[in-house]
Structure 1
Amino acid sequence: MHSFVRSAALATTFLAVPFLHPAAALAAEAPTAEAAAPAAAADDQERTSVGTGAHDRGGEIVVTARRRQESSQEVPLAISVVGGEHIDATGSFNVGRLQQLTPTLQFYSSNPRNTAVNIRGLGVPFGLTNDGIEQGVGIYIDDVYNSRVASATFDFLDVAQIEVLRGPQGTLYGKNTTAGAINITTNQPTFDFEGKAEVSLGNYNFKQAKAAISGPLSDTLAARVAVSSTSRRGTIYNVVTDENIQSQDNLGLRGQLLWQPTDALAITLAGDYSAQDANCCGSVYVRTGLTQRALNRQFAALSAALGYAPPSTDPFDRLTDLDTNLKAKNKIGGASLRVKWDVGEGTVTSITAWRFWDWGPSNDRDFTGLPIVALSQNPSQQDQYTQELRYNYSSDAIDFVVGAFGFYQRIDTQGTEAQGAAASRWSIAPSNALSNDPSVLNGLVAYNSQYLKNTSAALFGQLSWHITPELTLQPGVRLNYDKKEGYYQRRVFNGQGQELILDGSYTARESAQLAIYTPQEISPTFSDWNFSYDFTASYKVAPDVLLYATYAKSFKSGGINQNGVPVDGQNNPILESATVKPESVHHYEAGIKTQFWDRLATFNFSIFRSDIKDYQANVNNGQYGVLRGYLANAGKVRSQGVEVDFSVRPSERFNAYANGAYTDATYRKFVDAPCPPELSGGTVVTGSQVPGAPGVPGALSPANCDISGQRLPGVSKWSFSFGAEANTPATILGKDGEVYVGYDGSVRSNFSSNPSPSAYTWVDGYSLHNVRAGFRTEAGLNVYGWVRNLFDENYFDQLFVGPGNTGLIAGLPGDPRTWGFTISSNF
C-alpha cells in the first residue's frame, strides 16, 4: 500500500510537468568555471532567474539564511556559500565532496544509512545510526526539511546555491537544529526559455550526466525538469567475488511547475526521485592492536586457528575478501507544494511536503573473508510529512519572521543477523569444547522488528530591530513539542529453526547462543516541551564592516533507543537505557564581516563556543550480535574555535579564496563512556580490583572509562580549503572565449575514528589537491579536463573497530587519483 501511494503521488507530480526536450543531455563530476565563492541564488519566485555574480566588481552574494533575500555580508552569523557553478567546477556533487570546500563541515559515511553530517564537530553521534534521535544539522532543500541524513549521500541536482549555516538555527527554521543547517536552493522554473547540459567521462569508468530545461507553458505557468546520472566502478577489489566494490550508481529526477497568476502570488509544485544501487559498502584490513582479551582469542591466534589471512596487510592495495553479498539500495523522494503570497507589507509562505526513504542493505559485519557473521541487513522504510507556515515582514525600522511547523515521521525496520560456519571457533572460548562444534552457532539467526513514530510541533520567530542604521538587535524564540513512540523486538532461532526463549534454564549450548543474540522486546517512549531563544546584536562600524555577537540557548530533542538496550545478568533489558535526555546547548559567538578594496576582497572572522549538557553519545559494546550500539548521555561536551574566510577577485582574469578553521571539540565530562579496544575484552573488574594496562592480553578490563577531556570523534583541530583560478582571452576553432586554469586544495589534521579515542583508530591528517583546465565561451560552451587527488595521496575516510574485541581494525580508504573530461553547454 505504501509503495502504491508513493508511486501515485510521484507520478501525479511529474505528469503535472510536461516533458521538455533538452537539446543535449547530461552533466559533470568535476570542474567548470568560478573557483572563488559562488554566484548568488536566483529569486525563486521571479519570472526570470536573476542573480549577481559573487565576485563581480561591487557584487553581492544573495542568501536566504534569515528567510528573506539579503547580502550574505549583512547577515550576522557565520555562513559559507557555495554556488552552483563552483559545485560543478570542483566536482563537489554531494555533501561528502562539499566538506572539502567548507572546513567546519564534517561528513562520514560507511553506507548511506550510517552517515553523519556535523558542523564544528556537533550534530549526530559518530558511529552506527540510531533512528530514535534527531540530527543536529538540518538539511533543507527548497525549504523542505529532510530528516534522513542518507539524503546527503545523493548527487546535488540542478542546484543554484548551498548555504552552510553554523550554529543553532531553531528560531528561523521549521525543525530545531543545534549545530547548524545546510540550506540548498535549486534552480527554479523561469518564464524565459533556458537549458543546460553536461557530460563527463573519467577513469574507473566514471560517467556523469546532467541536464535541465526550463521555460514558459503560458503567461502564468512555467516548468522546469532536471535529470542526473552518475556511475563509476568501485575503487576496492574483492578477491572472493571478483568484483570492484564501493562503486557509484546514482539516478536523480526533479520536476517543478510554477503558477504565478499575479505578481503577488506564486505557487510551486515540485516532485523528486533519487535512487542508488551501488556495489557497496565494504572495508579493507588495516591493522590489529592488542586488547585485554585472552591472547588465544585475539585476531592473530583466531586467524591462525582457522587458517585465515587477509588478502593484503597494506590497506592501500585496496584489496578485500568480504564473503557476504554487499548491497546498498537507497531511494529517496517526495513532493512539495509551496505557496508564496505577498500580503500588504509582508509575505505569507506555506510549504507542505511529503518525503519517503527506502533502504535495502546487506553488509559484512565481521570485516573479514571468514563466515563469522553470515548475514547482516536492516532494511528500513520511512514516510515523513511536514507543514510549515510563516510570515515575513520588512520595513526600515523592523524585520521579523514568525512561523509554525508540524512534523510527523514513521520508520519501519526489519533486521536479520545470522552467524556462519566459523562463528563457533571465533566467538566461543577455546577452553570450551563447544568452540570446536560449528553447528553451535552456524545458522543462529536474530530477526529484528522495530518502528518509530515521531511527532513534533513548533512555534518560532525572530525580530530584527534597527535602532539606528548601524545598530540592530535581533531576539528570537522557539516553543517546541516532541513525542517519540518506539517498538523493538528481537527473536532468536538456532540453526535447527527452534526459537530461543528466556526462561532462566539453559543448556551450555543455549548459553553460548544467547551470548551472541539475546531475545528482547521493549516499547520506549519520550515526550517533552522545550523553550529556546537567542539574541544577536550587530553594529556596522563602516558601510562594509559589520560586527556581531550572539548568545543562544538551544536544545536537541530527547530520544529513544531503537536498536535494543543492554541487559542485566538475567538477560532482562535495562529499561533505564531505553531513553536519552534532551541536549541542552549554550552557544556563544562573535564575528566580523568585512569587504574592502572596492569590494573586490572579502574577509570574515568568527569565534565561537558551544557548551552542551547531556550530549547524546553513541555507545558500542563490542558484541557481534544485534546490539552493536545504543545511545547514552555524556555529561558535558564543549566545541570552541575560530573560523576565517577570505576571497579576492582583483580582476575578471583572476580570483582566489582561502578558508580555515580551528575546532577544539572535547568531552568535558564523560566518566562512564565505552572503553577503547585496548582497554576491553578482559574479565570486567569488580569491587576493589584494579584494571590492567592497555593492550595486555588477559588483563582485567574496566567496566567503563573516563574519557573527559578527550577529543570528539571525527573532528580535526585544523582544517583549511583554498583555491584560485586564472583565465586569459583566446579564440579556438573560431570561437571567442577564454582559456582558464583552476586549482582547489584542502588540508585537515588528524582525527579520532572511534567514539572513545583509541591508539588504534586515529586517522592521520592529509591534504587533497584538485586541478582543472579548459576553454569556455560567452555563449555557454565549456570544455575542460580535471584531476582530483592530483598527488594520489593515501588516506582514510574512516576506520572501524572489529566486533568481539579481537583487535581487528578495518578501514575505508579515500578515493585515489581520478581524472576525466567534461563538456557542458548553457542555452
Structure 2
Amino acid sequence: MSLSTLTLALLAGTSPIAATAAPLPEDPPAAAVAAEDPQAQDGQNVKDDGTIVVTARRRQERVQEVPIAVTVVNGNDLANAGNYNVNRLQQQQPTLQFYSSNPRNSAINIRGLGAPFGLTNDGIEQGVGFYVDGVYIGRVGASTFDFVDVGQVEVLRGPQGTLYGKNTTAGAVNITTRPPAFSPEGRVEATYGRYNFLQLKGSVSGPLIGDTVAARLSTSFTRRDGTIHNVATGEDLHRQQNFGVRGQVLVRAAPNLDITLAGDFNVQNPLCCVQVYARVGATQRPLNRQYAALAAAFNYTPPSLNPFDRVTDLDADINSRQEIGGASLVANWDIGPATITTVSAWRYWDWQPANDRDFVGLPITIKSQNPSQQTQVSQEIRIASNGNRRLQYTAGAFVFHQKINTQGSQVQGPAASRWLLNPSSANANNPAVLNGLTSTNTISFDNTSFALFGKLNWEILPGLRIQPGLRLNYDEKSGSYSAVVTTSTGSTTLNNDQLGVLAPQSYAPHFSAWNVSGDVTLSYDFSPDVHGYLTYARSFKSGGINLSGLPLNATNTGVDLSVQTVKPERVNHFEAGLKTQFLDRRLTVNLAGFWTEIDDYQATVNNGQITVIRGYLANAGKVRVRGFEWDSSFRPSERGSLYFNGAFTDAKYVRFTNAPCPPELSGGSPALNGATPAPAGTPGLSPLVCDISGQILPGISKWSFSFGGEVNAPVAGGELYFGYDGSYRSKFSSNPSRSRYTDIDGYSLSNFRLGWRQGDLNIFGWVRNAFGQDYFELLSTQSGSTGLVVGQPGEPRTYGVTVSKRF
C-alpha cells in the first residue's frame, strides 16, 4: 500500500467526512470491484489512485467529493478501537447518539433527531435508517447485533429520502460487510479481557466454481461477565452473550451481472438491562407518599446509595434475549449506460424480555414485559447512470411491509397499594387491592410503505453542479391494542383505584397518507481538493399510531380515542459544507453547518397520570436543531497521525405547550378550573400539562468531540504502535421535559492501545475508559412520582489483549 493510500485510508477511517461530489467515470458494480480488490477485502474500498470509495449516493464515488455530510469508518479501525456495535460506534462519531434501556427500547439519533426520547412505541417510524448491505432494518432493536466481518460503516447526516428506499428525515447508518472473494483468504481474531470478556471472530472466503461463484462465511462470539451485581439473587447482570453467523454466495452470472445471496443469524442472551439508585428529588406528591417515607414504611434501604458501586437488589426476573436473522438477494446488472440494482430481503426479530420496572427490591411492579415478534419483507429496485460526468441520475422504487405481534403483561405486587395509591384513598394501605392486579396486553401492528424516488446530478458549468431530488411516498399503518385487567381472583370488575393503575382498554387505530418531499443541492469544486455545497430539503416523517395504551378521558370512564394517531412531522432542512485537503492530502479539514426545523414533532407525553409506566405519542408544535461540525485529520508522516472532530448542536422545543411535566411538577392532585399549582417540589396541586417551549431537547449535548491519533516505529521486523482515542460530550437532559434531577453531567472517555504488527499479524493490548470515568448513559424516574431517580451506569474500565491474523 502506498503512502498516499495509507494516508487517505486513515483519514477516512478516523474522521467524519463531509464532501462535494464528482462521480467516478465508468464505475463497475460495487460487488465486482470489492471482490477483485485486495484492499477492499481489507475493509477499505479503495481506487487505484488511493481514494476511499463510498456508496452513500447509491453509486461508487470518492468520499471527499460527495455533497453530503457523511462519516466513513473502515472495519479495521472499528476493530482496533473495540467498537463492535452501534452503541460503541457513537464514541467515534460526535453527531451520532445511541440510547438503550434494553435492546427493544433503543434509539439511534443523528444531530439529536430520529426517535422520541423514552420507551419504544412500535407504531411510529424511526428517523434514522439502518441498512446492512443495502437492506433496511425496520426496528432499532434489531440493529444491536455485534458487527460481523464489516468492511466499512457510513453515517449520513440529514434527510436521505431521495436516495434511500425508506424515508429517513435525520440520516442513515449504512453498513457494508466484506463480500466474497475469488482469491482464498481467511481471518481470525481473538480477544480476552477484564470481566472474562472473550470475543472470537473468524471468516473464510474463496471460489466455489472457478471465477464464477465465490462464498464467504463469517462468525462472531462474544461473552462477558456482568458489571452490576444483584445482591438479592447473587447474579451478575449486564453480562454479554452473543453469537452471530453470516454467509454470502456471489454468483458472477455474466460479465456484467453479479448476484449475491446472503443470510445471517444472531442470538443475544444478556442478563440486562437494569437501572440502579441514582438520587432522590422532591415531587408534588404528599410527603408520606414520596420515596423517603415509602422506603421507611417498608424498612427498605437500597444496597448502595452510590450508583457506581454497581449493585442492585431487584426481585423480579431479568432478561433481554433476542434473535435476529434474515436473507437477501442483491443483483447488480450493468447494461452499459446504467446499472440496475435490485435488493430483495426478508428479516425477522424475536424479542423475549423480563424486567423489574419498579427498580427496587420491593414487590411493587413484579412483572412488566413486552415480548415481540417482528417480520419484514422489502423490495427495492434502482437504476443509476454510468459514465457521463455531466448528467447523472439515480431513480428507484421501494416496497416495505412489516408485522409486529406483542404479548405484554404487567403484574402488581403486595407493595403496590402503598407505593402507588394516594393517601386520600381508603385502599392506600391495603395490600390486597393491587396485589396480583394483572394487565394482559395483546398488540398487533401492520405497516406497508411504498415509494418512488430519484435524484439528478447535472454539471451546468465546469465544477458547478445542481442535484435536485424528489420522493413520492405512501405509508399505511393499522394495529390493535387490547388490555384485559384482572384482579388476583381473576375478576374483571375493578374499583376506581385499580382502574387508575391498570385500565382495561381496546382500540384499533389506523393511519394512511401520501406525501411528496424533495431536496436540492448546489455544489462547486473550487479546486481538486476544495469543495463546497449548499442543500435545502423538505422532508416528512410518516405519521403513526399509538400502540402503548391510551390515556383515560376527562371523566375517567374510558380511553381518549382522539389521540390514537399522530400526524406526520414536516421537516425543513438547510445545510452548508466545505471540504478541504492540503499538504498533498495529508491534512483534511471539513466543515458543515445545519439548521433544521420540524413542525408537528412526534414526542412522548403522559396526560398527568402518575402510575403509568409508558406514555403515549403526541405532536409537539415545533422543534429547531441547528449547529456546526468539523472534521480534521493530519498525517505528517507514515509514523504518526492525529484527528480531532467535533459538533456544536443547539436543539430546543420552539413550541410545546402541552408537554408532560418534569418530576418536580408532578404527583399532586390536578390543578383544575384554573387553580394555581404548587411551587416545584412542593406537595400540593400539579399542572395537567407544562409549557416547555424554549427548553432543550433530551439526549443532546451542546458540545461533543472525538480526538486521538497513533504513532509507530519499526521494531523487530514489524511495527510497534501506540494509539489513543478520546471522546467528550457536555451535559444533556435525560427526560422528555427537562428536570434538574435528570440532567446527566458531561464526561470524557479515554481508550489506549499498544501493539505490534507485521504483515497479516497484529497483537495489541488495550484499555477502555482508562481513567475509570463514572458516568450515566441515561437516567429515569420511577413511576408514581415518588421522586426516585435511577440510572444506567456506563461501562467501567476494561482492559485486555487482542490477536488477529489474516491468511
TM-score, normalising length: structure 1: 0.93
What RMSD, in angstroms, separates the aligned Cα atoms of the two structures? 1.8
Matched letter for residue 130 of structure 2: I
1:608-627 alignment to 2 at 5 Å? 608-620=594-606
Residues 622/743 of structure 1: CA separation in 2 closer, same or farther (3 Å cut): farther
Which among 42, 45, 52 is matched to residue 32 of structure 2? 45
**Does the CA contact (< 8 Å) of 2:611 and 2:784 recur in 1?**
no
Which among 62, 66, 83 is matched to residue 53 of structure 2? 62
**Does the CA contact (< 8 Å) of 2:744 and 2:779 recur in 1?**
yes
Aligned residue for 1:789?
A: 769
Aligned residue for 1:389?
A: 381
Matched letter for residue 506 of structure 2: E
State whether structure 2 residue 295 is matched by structure 1 residue 315.
no
Residues 641/388 of structure 1: CA separation in 2 closer, same or farther (3 Å cut): same
Aligned residue for 2:23?
A: none
How far the C-alpha of 1:55 sits from its partner, in A, is 11
Aligned residue for 1:333?
A: 325
Aligned residue for 1:164?
A: 155
Aligned residue for 2:257?
A: 265
Aligned residue for 1:11?
A: none
Aligned residue for 2:97?
A: 106
How far the C-alpha of 1:149 sits from its partner, in A, is 0.3
**Does the CA contact (< 8 Å) of 2:365 and 2:413 recur in 1?**
yes
**Does the CA contact (< 8 Å) of 1:38 and 1:61 recur in 2?**
no
How far the C-alpha of 1:45 sits from its partner, in A, is 2.6
1:435 aligns to what SS in structure 2? coil
Residues 399/537 of structure 1: CA separation in 2 closer, same or farther (3 Å cut): same
How far the C-alpha of 1:622 sits from its partner, in A, is 6.8
CA-to-aligned-CA distance 1:136-166 (integer Å, 9 cap, x gap):
0000000000011013321111100000000
Aligned residue for 1:536?
A: 521
**Does the CA contact (< 8 Å) of 1:622 and 1:628 recur in 2?**
no
Aligned residue for 1:662?
A: 648
Distance in 1 (alpha carbons) for counterparts of 2:107 and 2:535: 26
CA-to-aligned-CA distance 1:17-40 (integer Å, 9 cap, x gap):
xxxxxxxxxxxxxxxx98753299
Which among 564, 569, 579 is matched to residue 583 of structure 1? 569
**Does the CA contact (< 8 Å) of 1:38 and 1:54 recur in 2?**
no
How far the C-alpha of 1:763 sits from its partner, in A, is 0.2
* Structure 2 unaligned residues grouped into runs of 5+: 1-7, 18-27
Which among 453, 457, 463 is matched to residue 470 of structure 1? 463
State whether structure 2 residue 561 is matched by structure 1 residue 565.
no
Distance in 1 (alpha carbons) for counterparts of 2:134 and 2:353: 29
Distance in 1 (alpha carbons) for counterparts of 2:326 and 2:575: 36
How far the C-alpha of 1:114 sits from its partner, in A, is 0.3
CA-to-aligned-CA distance 1:436-482 (integer Å, 9 cap, x gap):
32211111100000100000100000000012331010000000000
Matched letter for residue 189 of structure 1: P
Distance in 2 (alpha carbons) for counterparts of 1:714 and 1:420: 33
1:369 aligns to what SS in structure 2? coil
1:154-303 alignment to 2 at 5 Å? 154-219=145-210, 220-303=212-295
1:434 aligns to what SS in structure 2? coil
1:293-692 alignment to 2 at 5 Å? 293-394=285-386, 395-500=388-493, 510-568=495-553, 569-620=555-606, 628-692=614-678
**Does the CA contact (< 8 Å) of 1:373 and 1:417 recur in 2?**
yes
CA-to-aligned-CA distance 1:88-112 (integer Å, 9 cap, x gap):
0100101110001000000110000
Aligned residue for 1:92?
A: 83
Residues 119/604 of structure 1: CA separation in 2 closer, same or farther (3 Å cut): same
Matched letter for residue 645 of structure 1: D
How far the C-alpha of 1:77 sits from its partner, in A, is 1.1
**Does the CA contact (< 8 Å) of 1:255 and 1:270 recur in 2?**
yes
**Does the CA contact (< 8 Å) of 1:375 and 1:419 recur in 2?**
yes
**Does the CA contact (< 8 Å) of 1:787 and 1:819 recur in 2?**
yes
Distance in 1 (alpha carbons) for counterparts of 2:711 and 2:781: 45
Which among 765, 789, 802 is matched to residue 746 of structure 2? 765
**Does the CA contact (< 8 Å) of 1:281 and 1:327 recur in 2?**
yes
Aligned residue for 1:503?
A: none
**Does the CA contact (< 8 Å) of 1:42 and 1:50 recur in 2?**
no
**Does the CA contact (< 8 Å) of 2:242 and 2:267 recur in 1?**
yes
Distance in 1 (alpha carbons) for counterparts of 2:59 and 2:610: 50
Distance in 2 (alpha carbons) for counterparts of 1:94 and 1:35: 20
* Structure 1 unaligned residues grouped into runs of 5+: 1-32, 501-505
Residues 134/369 of structure 1: CA separation in 2 closer, same or farther (3 Å cut): same
Aligned residue for 2:3?
A: none
How far the C-alpha of 1:42 sits from its partner, in A, is 11
How far the C-alpha of 1:431 sits from its partner, in A, is 4.5
Distance in 2 (alpha carbons) for counterparts of 1:600 and 1:160: 23
1:743-782 alignment to 2 at 5 Å? 743-778=724-759, 780-782=760-762
1:37 aligns to what SS in structure 2? helix
Distance in 1 (alpha carbons) for counterparts of 2:793 and 2:384: 47
Aligned residue for 2:689?
A: 704
Residues 146/687 of structure 1: CA separation in 2 closer, same or farther (3 Å cut): same
Identity of aligned residues (%): 56
CA-to-aligned-CA distance 1:101-141 (integer Å, 9 cap, x gap):
00000011000000010000000001100000000000000
**Does the CA contact (< 8 Å) of 1:105 and 1:119 recur in 2?**
yes
**Does the CA contact (< 8 Å) of 2:9 and 2:52 recur in 1?**
no
Which among 708, 711, 725 is matched to residue 710 of structure 2? 725
Aligned residue for 1:4?
A: none
1:291 aligns to what SS in structure 2? coil
Distance in 2 (alpha carbons) for counterparts of 1:445 and 1:107: 33
TM-score, normalising length: structure 2: 0.95
How far the C-alpha of 1:381 sits from its partner, in A, is 0.3
**Does the CA contact (< 8 Å) of 1:84 and 1:161 recur in 2?**
yes
